[in-house]
Structure 1
Amino acid sequence: MDETTGLSLPSELLLLWHAHRTEILLSAGLFLACLRLAIHWRRTRSKAVLTPPLGSPVDQKPSLLAKQHLAEAEHYVSSPTSLSKNAKPGPKRVTGVKRTKSSPVDVLPTSINNIQPLIFYFSLGGSTRSYAETLQQSLNTNIESEAKILQPILHDLTAIDYDDFFISPPKSDKPNTAHFYVILLPSYDISTELENFLEHLDETHNDFRIDTAPLSRLAGYSVFGFGDQQDWPTEERGYCKDAVEVDKWMARLTGRKRAFPLGIGDVKADAGERLEEWTVGVQAAMVDIAHGRGLGEGVPGSGEAVESADEAELDDDEEDAETPPSSKKQRKPIKRSQTSDLEDLKAPIPVDFTTTTTTKQPSPPPKPTAPKPMVPVNSPTHTSLTKQGYTIIGSHSGVKICRWTKSALRGRGSCYKYSFYGIASHLCMEATPSLSCSNKCVFCWRHGTNPVGTTWRWEVDPPGMVFEGMKEGHYRKIKMLKGVPGVRAERFQQAMRIRHCALSLVGEPIFYPRINELLALLHGERISTFLVCNAQHPDHLAALDHVTQLYVSIDASNKDSLRRIDRPLHRDFWERFLRCMDILREKRYQQRTVFRLTLVKGFNVEDEAEGYADLVARALPSFVEVKGVTYCGTSTSAGAGLSMQNVPFYEEVSAFVLALESALERRGLDYGIAAEHAHSCCILLADKTRYFKPSAEHGGEERWHTLIDYVKFFECLESGRDFGPEDYVGSPTAEWALWGRGGFDPRDERVDRKGRPKVVEV
């Protein structure tokens, strides 16, 4: 005890604690925290060699990763200098493969020994069962020679467990056997077992515990629907609605393995005939799979460049629903070199080295060199055109599927040629024997990637090779579309026989030195020919034999406008242009001739109707097509001053046509507006004296006759006698195609970009 203060030592400590306890507790806590951090830091540092860097991807197999890091640690321990000698400064780059859910675990065997067809059907009254049995007998008869295709097995959807077939494919006793599902479904207006089947497919697709494509091991599938078109005329009103739904769900569950388009048949009209046609296609698809040819490439592969860019290649809802996430890619514009088009460095430079003259002493002629391919296989031009969806044939020809072909296959309408001349787009092949052109048009939708030239200086492929290559490339691309949602089975079958050829794809078809031989091959298989030229090769035009219809592109009414729009390479381009007008006038009694006017607002629309009327008076074509330009958004167009502001509205095109009609009337020319196709922004003027005449089908009333009788054309051609366009005039133009009616076939369905029905106002 302290005698002075009278306090003991414990009492003093207690007073100090009460006076400074807050500071003591905070200090102790801070000390313990620092100690804990120091210990953690030492442990982390000691294990750094075994720990991957922050943010490194971790593999699905941790045991293998641990072994790898352990081996690296042993290497560094045994060779302490290896890290400093061999390692590069900075973080280590880790490479790997991104794993996605869409990659199916259950994939098709690489080699298929057998294909087992399974026929599923649903029936209340027994009619669909009869159709299924007929299909089974037909397949049994037709596949006897195919050892790899087993006898089909019939299954009633009401008598099976859906989990056994529609969550994963059934097991087979035979090795490497893939199943092929064939589903036949009617549609009813009452509640049936089909509702449970559809609900099962829906739940399977949306169950997070089941893989995205659980039926990916199937070799393929196809669906056929039966409906009553009299009571339910459209899909929205119930026609084959259940088959359409099942087809969509199966596309999702199989990873888009639609082997043949959805077939539909009217039980009160053509169900048996449609089923028979569809069966042939399904059988052919199974044979292709059995022989290793697969299902085709589906929607991708038809390219980005389209003839008319006002609709998407795929509806967004269908692409999102049926395209795996891993295969979706953003469409990017093709990057091109700034010097890929030398003519665009100082546009325009219209120079024709074949027509210039000089007063100087001529130099000795150069030694002749062997001609080279127009589009070599390894050239950037070949790569660019291939990316745009072109199939290059030989060294200078090409073929491509038009957007309207895809539209017609899906029952969404054909192009204006169907309204005007009776050409169904799904029966038409778009091709060219010459990818080279002598113009660099500002509105060209070929992106300026095709070669140019004023004279033919390349190799010449034989016409037979060009013709066979065109057909092969076209049919191959048609087969790619059999998995596209909405493709009609009967139109797909029809598309496998080409009936028309539009020689207007890209370049200048009459530039090909052996064009007449190619035309003879096309006509030999009764394929009609629609040839388009740009009025810059009068000698070739004069030597051209018969074609079904001859087009000349008229993009301007005067020299200055033609120079700005077409940017021709020939120095005497205007003289060549006028010579072609005179040649066209001479040919007007030998074949149907057409002026094709492409209107570009700000270039050739304002105050040029009178100039166009003068050209019509000079050439006297059978028809005048007036079409608004389609803007492609390319750098070439932008560099020439073209934008969306230069695309005319349909009302502006109509006003121009009316002005042109009046200008022709003032010149004493009897032309009238015969037809229109508002969807293409295209209107047709025709010579009244030749194509507006009494119609026997309408009691002698005068009607427009712009359609072509293709059978008569080939009969005239094969007879060997002289004939003219009046000898193969077809039946009267359809009512829905006449001026003021819109021009869209009412048997088809017009849709918007999302695939929704679109109301057309006339």
Structure 2
Amino acid sequence: MSSILTDTPDGLFHTILKALKALPRELLVSWHLYRIPVLAIVSVFCGLIILFTSRYRWYDEPRGASNLKERPEQSIASVIQNKISLEQKIVAQKIGPRKIVGQKPQSRAKLSLDTFDHTTQKVQPLVFFSSLSGTTEVAAKKLTEELDSWIKHSESDYTPLEPRVLDISYVELDDYFITAPKDDPAVKYFYLILIPSYDIDTILSNFTEHLRETHHDFRIDTAPLSGLLGYAVFGFGDKEDWPSEEEGFCYQAKEVDKWLAKLTGRKRAYPLGLGDIKSDAIARLEEWRMGVQDALGEICAGNGLGEGVPGSGDPVESEDEDEIYEDDEALAETEVAVQPKARKTKPSTRLDDLEDLGKLVQKTEETDTGPIAIDFTTYKPSKPRKSALTATIKEMVPKTSPTYASLTKQGYSIIGSHSGVKICRWTKSALRGRGSCYKYSFYGIQSHLCMEATPSLSCSNKCVFCWRHGTNPVGTTWRWVTDPPDMIFDGITTAHYKKIKMMKGVPGVRAERFAEAMRIRHCALSLVGEPIFYPHINELLAILHSHRISTFLVCNAQHPEQLAALVPVTQLYVSIDASNRESLRRIDRPLHRDFWERFLACLDILRARRHEQRTVFRLTLVKGFNVDEEVAGYADLVERALPGFVEIKGVTYCGTSASSSAGLTMQNVPFYSEVTDFVTALSAELERRGLGYGIAAEHAHSCCVLLASERFRRAGQWCTTIDYKRFFELVESKGKFGPEDYIGQPTPEWALWGNGGFDPRDQRVVGRKGKRKHVIEPTPEAEVAAEG
């Protein structure tokens, strides 16, 4: 057979023929020669057949089907059903999406805080600085010494380690600014960075570029410094060379703060501090240090960075943040305890703040339903009233009520059972150096120093332009549990400070204004409801005055008895929403049947008390309701009460379905030009009657203009501001005084009529997308269009 392998093809053919003739003998020889490879091939082939047969049999046959004979109790239908279910699962696995089971992992920033154990781990502050002339180095060393002294004299059981000073010029940036140091697992780090600004290339240019490249490097985690417990930045600048931030004042510190927010996973522990080396750098640095110490103390005590909105860290300090941080629901959600989610029903109508100018109108679907309106007033009860002895006194806003849930969702903190506090968008704006509300232009009140609160969430009107359609209770008499005034004061101040602290991580918040905001200087009792409705309003006002907090109280001219008994406040407002009975009924929708008589009685009381305190008419113009052909009627009301001031403000549409049902739409919102036309006409009418009023100031951004009595004009200059220090001295003297006794400095030039009313020292943000524009003489029509 060996010759077969070497034969030519012709010889091989003859050989095969010979083999066929002698098949039995040669076949046996061939088998012995090729049996091993043949058996191997057959074995492999059979093994593959068995493997594939077993696999498809497992898919096609349900478990237990092979044991059907052993389990006669199992029906054929059950086996078929199991087989169908298994086939469906197999199909789903082949063509359907993969189902992920489990919980969403926490962000690295949160995990790093959660893994810090203040009982076993320590906080190591690192003070970084960069300096050419040595000024920043001296400040960094002094800061370190003061922090060390604070640590050594602290009475707390949990304090940070002794701070270390590091010069950015001599450290390896990769060791500190790509990942947090991990030398000792029992030590966590906190960065303090002091940065000057130069207009030449220095190590700071390399430092900021390093931070930028680290953020954009795809090989590195998006938050590589999330292992830090927090950071804070302070910048030194020279306003002689760079007068404003837009022109470069402390621009490199702002860059470092911006990129660190990204790299740390938004762990800004305290707002960016800025100081002018030729004026206020030492004072600003001291304020910043005190704030950083408080943050360090909270971290060491195991409280982390606290509640609040985290910093942005956007490569460009995102103006779209206004859509997030200006929305009070973001703050409210961090304040309300986490509860199990209820079953979702129809979406509720969104309610926006009246002063949230510039927000787009939210269109609601026809299926949307707003919060349930709660009316505690009944004129014709269907059942006999209970006697005073048997009646149960209830809370105005119980914690289990829909009203409580709705108000807290909108950003309110409910104090006790009937009081509330909330920070408005102007407070947030002032903290970021973007301007205060009209009270600053008119009366010198900086918004970040003002607390907006109310001792009564209930009201006796249902105004068509109300901020909170259907969410706050209404009534004509006080019939609820009454909280003591000292408890209300403690509650509203504590809640206000808590809300301010929640703003410390918001990008753009100025450290000096944040420090100033931690001392309330003004209280606007005008949040919602009727403050004068509270039975112990005078006691609450006395507590506020004892803490040297000015009081601006707003009432709706429906409670003459309470108004007559009111003690003097810093400034007393009365809402004048219409000039005649029918218009007032349509726009305010009062609950009292004798609402017009009550309204006029309050005006008479205001006239009688005009020499005891500053009095103000607040006119809210609603086009189609109280604007057309009502100038003469408003002039009659001014002549009757002779208030010190008249504020004319255009209404802002809230964008709710309840507003539409009340007959209010965007068509009822006047343009600023229409407001100014109305003011001009009213001023001319008052001048024709010889009442002595003139147009004093404006705040175009709020669509608001101020008419003032000649009593507040001195040496040809309007003096609408208030000397608050003098006011408290007069109150403490317990003698008689009048509004002329605490007139402040002349109204600033930029606030006077015709100049727009926006402080040029602040930065104006125009438009929904926040295009920055420094405005001194704004165009009214363009502003109102941008504000929506």
Q: Same fold (TM over 0.5)?
A: yes
- Residue by residue over 1:141-184, the C-alpha shift from the partner in whole angstroms, topping out at 9 and shown as x without a partner, is 11112543111111111111111111111014262x32110011
- Seen in structure 2, the aligned counterparts of structure 1 residues 342 and 376 have a Cα distance that, compared at 3 Å, is closer
Q: Which of the numbers 291, 300, 303 marks the counterpart of 2:301?
A: 291
Counterpart residue type for residue 693 of structure 1: R
Counterpart residue type for residue 749 of structure 2: E
Inter-partner Cα distance in structure 1 for 2:662 and 2:66: 63
Counterpart residue type for residue 735 of structure 1: E
Deviation of 1:757 (Å)? 2.3
SS of equivalent to 1:674? strand
Alignment correspondent of 2:243: 233
Q: Which of the numbers 340, 343, 350 marks the counterpart of 2:372?
A: 340
Counterpart residue type for residue 138 of structure 2: S
* Of 192-201 and 139-148, the range deviating more from structure 2: 139-148
Alignment correspondent of 2:714: 693
Inter-partner Cα distance in structure 1 for 2:173 and 2:626: 64
Inter-partner Cα distance in structure 2 for 1:736 and 1:727: 25
Q: Which of the numbers 739, 754, 758 marks the counterpart of 2:773?
A: 758
Moved >4 Å (runs of 4+): 38-50, 72-95, 97-106, 302-305, 330-339, 351-354, 362-367
**In 1, are the aligned partners of 2:646 and 2:708 still within 8 Å (CA)?**
yes
Alignment correspondent of 1:195: 205
Deviation of 1:237 (Å)? 2.0
- Seen in structure 2, the aligned counterparts of structure 1 residues 210 and 43 have a Cα distance that, compared at 3 Å, is farther
Inter-partner Cα distance in structure 2 for 1:238 and 1:122: 18
Counterpart residue type for residue 454 of structure 1: T
Deviation of 1:758 (Å)? 1.7
Alignment correspondent of 1:448: 470
**In 2, are the aligned partners of 1:106 and 1:214 still within 8 Å (CA)?**
no
- Residue by residue over 1:554-576, the C-alpha shift from the partner in whole angstroms, topping out at 9 and shown as x without a partner, is 11111111111111111111111
In the alignment of these two chains, the number of paired residues is 669
Inter-partner Cα distance in structure 1 for 2:83 and 2:437: 66
Inter-partner Cα distance in structure 2 for 1:652 and 1:210: 56
Inter-partner Cα distance in structure 1 for 2:365 and 2:551: 33
- Seen in structure 2, the aligned counterparts of structure 1 residues 342 and 518 have a Cα distance that, compared at 3 Å, is closer
Q: Which of the numbers 146, 169, 174 marks the counterpart of 2:180?
A: 169
Alignment correspondent of 1:142: 150
Q: Which of the numbers 468, 487, 492 marks the counterpart of 1:465?
A: 487
Inter-partner Cα distance in structure 2 for 1:335 and 1:433: 35
Inter-partner Cα distance in structure 1 for 2:53 and 2:468: 66
- Residue by residue over 1:342-386, the C-alpha shift from the partner in whole angstroms, topping out at 9 and shown as x without a partner, is 66xxxxxxx9757x899xxx9995863121111111111111100
**Structure 1 residues 302-313: aligned runs within 5 Å:** 305-311=352-358
Aligned: 1:376 with 2:382 = no
Inter-partner Cα distance in structure 2 for 1:383 and 1:493: 31
SS of equivalent to 2:635? helix
SS of equivalent to 1:481? coil
Alignment correspondent of 1:602: 624
Aligned: 1:724 with 2:751 = no
Q: Which of the numbers 118, 122, 147 marks the counterpart of 2:126?
A: 118
**Structure 1 residues 6-21: aligned runs within 5 Å:** none
Inter-partner Cα distance in structure 2 for 1:334 and 1:126: 67
TM, length-normalised to structure 2:
0.79
- Seen in structure 2, the aligned counterparts of structure 1 residues 449 and 246 have a Cα distance that, compared at 3 Å, is same
Alignment correspondent of 2:284: 274
**Structure 1 residues 427-576: aligned runs within 5 Å:** 427-576=449-598
**In 2, are the aligned partners of 1:307 and 1:402 still within 8 Å (CA)?**
no
Inter-partner Cα distance in structure 2 for 1:734 and 1:162: 48
**In 1, are the aligned partners of 2:465 and 2:654 still within 8 Å (CA)?**
yes
Alignment correspondent of 2:786: none
Aligned-residue Cα RMSD (Å) equals: 3.3
**In 1, are the aligned partners of 2:270 and 2:505 still within 8 Å (CA)?**
yes
**In 1, are the aligned partners of 2:108 and 2:226 still within 8 Å (CA)?**
no
Structure 2: unaligned runs, 5 residues or longer? 1-48, 93-97, 310-329, 334-350, 779-788
Inter-partner Cα distance in structure 1 for 2:726 and 2:67: 90
SS of equivalent to 1:181? strand
Q: Which of the numbers 156, 175, 179 marks the counterpart of 2:167?
A: 156
Deviation of 1:99 (Å)? 5.0
Alignment correspondent of 1:636: 658
**In 2, are the aligned partners of 1:305 and 1:389 still within 8 Å (CA)?**
no
**In 1, are the aligned partners of 2:124 and 2:160 still within 8 Å (CA)?**
yes
Deviation of 1:392 (Å)? 0.5
Q: Which of the numbers 237, 255, 267 marks the counterpart of 1:257?
A: 267
Alignment correspondent of 2:331: 301
Provide the identity percentage.
62
**In 2, are the aligned partners of 1:309 and 1:631 still within 8 Å (CA)?**
no
Inter-partner Cα distance in structure 2 for 1:549 and 1:525: 17
- Residue by residue over 1:607-659, the C-alpha shift from the partner in whole angstroms, topping out at 9 and shown as x without a partner, is 11111111111111110000011111011111112111211111110000011
Deviation of 1:446 (Å)? 2.1
Inter-partner Cα distance in structure 1 for 2:738 and 2:685: 28
Counterpart residue type for residue 111 of structure 1: D
Structure 1: unaligned runs, 5 residues or longer? 1-37, 51-71, 314-329, 344-350, 695-701
Inter-partner Cα distance in structure 2 for 1:546 and 1:75: 92
Counterpart residue type for residue 709 of structure 1: D
**In 1, are the aligned partners of 2:412 and 2:420 still within 8 Å (CA)?**
yes
SS of equivalent to 1:180? strand
Deviation of 1:596 (Å)? 0.2
**In 2, are the aligned partners of 1:49 and 1:73 still within 8 Å (CA)?**
no
Q: Which of the numbers 410, 417, 420 marks the counterpart of 1:398?
A: 420
Deviation of 1:110 (Å)? 4.2
**In 1, are the aligned partners of 2:193 and 2:234 still within 8 Å (CA)?**
yes
SS of equivalent to 2:211? helix
Alignment correspondent of 2:225: 215
**In 2, are the aligned partners of 1:232 and 1:239 still within 8 Å (CA)?**
yes
- Seen in structure 2, the aligned counterparts of structure 1 residues 99 and 460 have a Cα distance that, compared at 3 Å, is closer
**In 2, are the aligned partners of 1:445 and 1:631 still within 8 Å (CA)?**
no
Deviation of 1:192 (Å)? 1.2
- Residue by residue over 1:510-555, the C-alpha shift from the partner in whole angstroms, topping out at 9 and shown as x without a partner, is 0001100100100010100000011111111111111100000111
Deviation of 1:298 (Å)? 2.7
Inter-partner Cα distance in structure 2 for 1:76 and 1:581: 96
SS of equivalent to 1:285? helix
Structure with larger Rg: 2
Inter-partner Cα distance in structure 2 for 1:286 and 1:43: 66
Deviation of 1:463 (Å)? 0.5
Inter-partner Cα distance in structure 2 for 1:335 and 1:403: 30
- Residue by residue over 1:114-150, the C-alpha shift from the partner in whole angstroms, topping out at 9 and shown as x without a partner, is 1110111111222211111111111011111254311
